[in-house]
Structure 1
Amino acid sequence: MKKYFIQTSPFIVPTTDGKLIEEHHGLATTQNKDISIAHMIAPVAWSEPFQTPEFDEYTYIISGKKQFIIEDEKIILEAGQSIKIESNTRVQYSNPFDKPCEYIAICTPAFDFKKVHRE
């Protein structure tokens, strides 16, 4: 029995806002409830509603920039930077910039639509 798993077929989450979400590990792909790892590309002028998720979320920016409004503070991350946002924190994610933003998102426990609490 192998003690590793190589993901070659991530789950492409259906979206209506042009954002690419490829979940490599998590509830949708590997039924792992402890962690989710996703590769994402947020298009120009993309944004999500505010949310208060029941999981920690780590974001690592590969290219472009991403804006976070955490509680009442605006933060902009650029390529090579990362952030951890603790569970039960009100946050909004967006890309108001002129280039797409490519990044990796890791959630612990795994991302779950029932636990994201979007406004």
Structure 2
Amino acid sequence: MKKYIIQTSPFVVPTTDGKLIEEHFGNATDNNSQISIAHMIAPPKWKEPFQTPEFDEYTYIIKGKKQFIIEDETIVLEAGQSIKIEKNTRVQYSNPFDNPCEYLAICLPAFSMDLVNREEY
């Protein structure tokens, strides 16, 4: 029995905002996942509502730039930079720039809509 899994066909999460989400490991691919790992591309001018997730989120920027509003502080990361945002922290993710932003997101425990606590716009 093999003690590894190679992911060759990640689950593409349906979205309505033009964002590409390819979950390689997580609750969309395994209901008992402890961690989620997703490859994402946020289109120009994309944003999500504020949220207060019940999970730590790590983000690594591959290409482009991504803006984070964490509590009351605005941070912009560029390719090659990464960030860890601790659970129970109010945050808004966006790409207010003119080019797409490609990045990896890792959530621990795994991302779940039940744990993200998104606010209304």
Between the aligned partners of 2:86 and 2:32, the Cα distance in structure 1 is 20
TM value normalised by structure 2: 0.97
Shift of 1:9: 1.1
- Counterpart of 1:10 in structure 2: which amino acid? P
Shift of 1:110: 0.1
- The alignment status of 1:113 with 2:113, answered yes or no, reads yes
Between the aligned partners of 1:7 and 1:94, the Cα distance in structure 2 is 28
Cross-structure match for 2:31: 31
- Counterpart of 2:76 in structure 1: which amino acid? I
- Counterpart of 1:15 in structure 2: which amino acid? T
- Report if the CA contact (8 A) 1:25-1:32 is conserved: no
Give the 5 Å matches for 1:1-119: 1-119=1-119
Between the aligned partners of 2:100 and 2:24, the Cα distance in structure 1 is 20
- Counterpart of 1:46 in structure 2: which amino acid? W
Between the aligned partners of 1:113 and 1:26, the Cα distance in structure 2 is 12
- Report if the CA contact (8 A) 2:52-2:89 is conserved: yes
- Counterpart of 2:60 in structure 1: which amino acid? Y
Shift of 1:10: 0.5
Give the total of aligned pairs.
Answer: 119
What's the % identity of the aligned pairs?
81
